[in-house]
Structure 1
């Protein structure tokens, strides 16, 4: 155990102890180099050499895997330090508590909260499962889920996660049958078992079961939740029962399916099902003659398609004509549920969400749930999927203002943390768009993706001392971004591109110089960014503030560039 005010790794000053486990203690620390708070986990010296080697191997695997992730629900590991007979793991500081701690203090949680957490966890697990190669978390349980004061979920402890290669052989990770009894799926403990996305689905189902009932799945097994609390929903009972079936083929096959079921669980309740049956019987009584006629004429399929198109057009028309944003959103959702492969409802939602310059938490939750629900059908048309991914990425990049941004801290105190949170949220969408070489905007999507990669990876690289050579390619991407933004008519995009570029030139001029970027090139880019901002005539308070930020940054940026070319002796070069 280290004392308060102790400096670890010559830069991390211990501020306070914030947690303690069997083999580790967690501290809050201040980084003197970046002026940022981190959490530091101290793994105390273990006398058993074999056990110590296993701990170090697990932490190394976790660090190597996480540094390639880019999801707001996955805290980063940025440094590993061995000193004072201990191993110190430096990671993102997440304010909040684990779901296990919450359950211990308050007992079973409400359906609404548990379902909300479940949908958020489906989102992060789906991100892991869709990676190439896929990542199987293998250790979903309440103690590995942090809940922030804002209600956001963070997934922690990737110690036994695996990147799964061909023939299910792990590329990274421990291939032994590991997991937590009660939460781990049966195949995790089967010598011949194969783990995949459905393994995590089982564990998430077991986690939700525990949060709803307070009954540990290892002690009493997973039983229908209403046998423990009859007030719980029968629809939610069926959802959890399906997620936790022993046969992987009988479970939900993807987390997108699981999330959809969680969102609509109330529709499965007995009362709702009974009402639907009554409605269906009435419908059959009035339409049997028409159905018979259609069958005889061979026109049933044509009529069904016509009816579907008619319904779709109706809801799209209703949405377009409605001045109430909530009503319009509901109509677009209905249209998306009818034609599950059409991107048009999503594109119209993007226009609605960005009109006021603010893509909110509530809008993000609705949009993300809807697109996850129909992702498989949307992906069938590669060009449409690339376009939708690109437009979604732009929405996050320039307009998102939700809770995912509240815990973000930029590389430097001079930077805008909200901008970097938006970039982080947009990253995967830009990568999706850039992957389609035939997409008309694949090049600019690639520029956005590369800029996002730099900004999400640079802190760990700086900490590891391996950031050299990364700045000149980033500078080239900024040049391309300004070139692209100069052709845009959207003032939000023009001003944000200008501010991002001026920001980078103010923070990294010495890094750019070290990588071979000339003073002339830096000054030229700063002038182009400033000119781009000056060309905008603000029409809203937000645009006015954005333009003022760019104007106020012009001189400090020029000064930073000039200072970067003054050596230690004071000679300008």
Structure 2
């Protein structure tokens, strides 16, 4: 096993162990020169009977991934091998597998599952578009990582294979029983794109019902037999994906993607609504005249009652679900959203679990009908339509929580998660646009740094833009009246400069960097409020440390 703190290949420092399987251990490592975190997968000869066979399989897996580039796939950066060990250096995918979400929470919300399905369908379509096509063959919740920003990444290509047009059958039967298509077990020809469509259908079944197809009764039933509130359109999609005969399934991921994007239109309720539209229109026209007086009285009575319920729930709210209940009572009011946000960060940390709970606001909050079945309510959409000013206020405050308190190791992920909220409020909060621009810069820098062909000019162009946005952030901060908000922004500017000292020195002068930091230090020193003196002293100490780092880097560059 690799030792914590050891240096691999002279550049990857092992930070800690993040995962362990039957044949391998995965570590989080840091390339300190590039200030970049990676995952290192270690497979050792010890304890593996057929190490050479396993090693050859890993070589096939890495060679396959090296030539792929997709947002939902990890990138392979390096392969290090000797007689006893095989190491794969790859993207560190922060998050947890969907299997963990199933174990902890059971069936997942339908809208979330459909969102994940579209992403997985897109990446499978990308694999199938390669020449020759790549068939993944092992889609299951355990092989899908849910990242902090709500997107998913497909991992573990140990069973993937390239489609060989002249082959009559696969040479090996690989996959996971329950999720695997019948043809993966021999006797039905070789696997192809439709095999992955079956596996995806089985995965969606597990996610949306909580029923594991690997366990008794070992079958995929219509999902509404398990939860009648689920969409009949989604039910049809899953049943078609998981047909025994590949000819009866969707024939391509493009065909499946179209169905996923229009699942509501093949829902029974949608079809019935279309048929009833004319009759409903005529009936409504008559009833409108008769009921107008009664409705006016009923509306004001119901509104008063709703306000009373909302205030009572919010006053006694102690948990995430309490705040959700208040929001469901009246999605147009901002109090519950903002108090929920404050409660999440009262310890000055937004944990991954809390971040996931906040994400459900964007995906829809669950509410139960009279029969006890859950359905989703798009509360933010209602807030945006009925109270646009309040909607932007909520998005801005939650964006700040992700930016300043989110407990993740990679700053790019922190900015990316915050951007999902900030992009909704740029009209009312100009500084939100700056944060979005910084997020875009960090994404570009990451893409260029991982590109197979070096793109140095483009990377430094992105660093130049990032520096411009940092100086713009300083100007926007000057308009803040709230001292705490200014301290947060000052600290963020210092952190960005501290992390990017070397590349910033390529796009601006050390004098400009130091001048910006000294201006912040001076402005902070002019604040007379004693209650935050300790915070100001800490910020000024960090600024001095960053200035020392700038001077050291400048001197090193002269040598």
Q: Establish whether TM, by shorter chain, passes 0.5.
A: yes
Structure 1 residue 141 displacement after superposition: 1.7
Count of aligned pairs = 459
Please give the secondary structure, in 2, of the residue aligned with 1:89.
strand
Does 2:56 correspond to 1:56?
Answer: no
Q: What is the match of residue 143 of structure 1?
A: 142
Q: Offset of 1:448 from its aligned partner?
A: 0.7
Does structure 1 residue 425 correspond to structure 2 residue 417? yes
> Where does residue 432 of structure 2 map in the other structure?
445
Q: Deviations over 1:323-365 (max 9, x none)?
A: 72518987875675477xx6x3346522553389538567655
Mark the runs of 5 or more structure 2 residues left unpaired by the alignment. 44-50, 126-135, 159-173, 185-189, 242-255, 265-282, 365-376
The equivalent of 2:70 in structure 1 is 65
Q: CA separation in 2, counterparts of 1:389 and 1:253? A: 30
- The answer for unaligned runs of 5 or more in structure 1 is 70-75, 103-108, 161-177, 226-232, 258-291, 411-418
Residues 566 and 450 (structure 1 numbering): CA distance in 2 closer, same or farther, change over 3 Å? same
Match of 1:263 in 2: none
Relative distance call for 1:42 and 1:122 in structure 2 (3 A) is farther
Structure 2 CA distance, aligned partners of 1:421 and 1:486?
26
**In the alignment, which residue of structure 2 is the partner of 1:528?**
519
Higher relative contact order (CA 8 A, sep 6+): 1
- 1:559 is aligned to 548
Instruction: Report which stretch shifted further, 318-327 or 468-477.
Output: 318-327
Aligned residue for 1:183?
179
> Is 1:81 matched up with 2:72?
no
SS at match of 1:561: helix
1:11-26 alignment to 2 at 5 Å? 11-12=11-12, 19-20=20-21, 25-26=24-25
Structure-2 separation of matches of 1:347 and 1:130 = 34
Residue 77 of structure 2 aligns to a residue in which SS? strand
Aligned-partner Cα distance in 2 for 1:253–1:182: 22
The 3-state SS of whatever aligns with 2:239 is coil
Residues 354 and 534 of structure 1: is their aligned pair in 2 closer, same or farther, counting only changes over 3 Å? farther
Q: Which residue of 2 aligns with 1:246?
A: 239
2:511 match: secondary structure: helix
Q: 2: CA distance between counterparts of 1:7 and 1:369?
A: 40
CA distance in 1, matches of 2:157, 2:511: 47
C-alpha distance after superposition, 1:138-176 (max 9, x if no partner):
96524325699x9x998651869xxxxxxxxxxxxxxxx
Residue 345 of structure 1 corresponds to which residue in structure 2? 333
SS in 1 for 2:220: coil
Match among 481, 491, 505 for residue 497 of structure 2: 505
Q: How many angstroms apart in 2 are the aligned matches of 1:193 and 1:331?
A: 44
Residues of 1 paired with 2:122 and 2:526: CA distance?
45
Check conservation: 1:397, 1:425, Cα contact below 8 A: no
CA distance in 2, matches of 1:538, 1:357: 23
Rounded Cα–Cα distance in structure 2 between residues aligned with 1:389 and 1:185: 46
Query: Quick one: distance in 1 between partners of 2:528 and 2:446?
Result: 35
Quickly say closer, same or farther: Cα 1:29–1:202, change in 2 above 3 A: closer
Partner of 2:487: 495
Does residue 1:378 correspond to 2:377, yes or no?
A: no
Alignment of 1:92-111 (within 5 A): 92=92, 99=99
Q: Deviations over 1:182-210 (max 9, x none)?
A: 43799x999897999x996762322565x
Which residue of the partner structure matches residue 298 of structure 1? 289
Shift in Å at residue 378 of structure 1?
1.4
Partner of 2:91: 91
- Pairing 1:315–2:306 present: yes
Secondary structure in 2 matching 1:369: helix
1:28 equivalent in alignment to 2:30: no
Q: Superposition RMSD on alpha carbons, in Å?
A: 5.9
Aligned residue number for residue 473 of structure 2: 481
- The answer as to whether partners of 2:314 and 2:326 remain within 8 angstroms in 1 is no
* Cα separation, 2, equivalents of 1:256 and 1:551: 56
Deviation string 1:378-430 (CA, Å, 9 cap, x unpaired) is: 1896897797367425424346788x62xx325xxxxxxxx776434312223
TM normalised by structure 2 equals 0.60
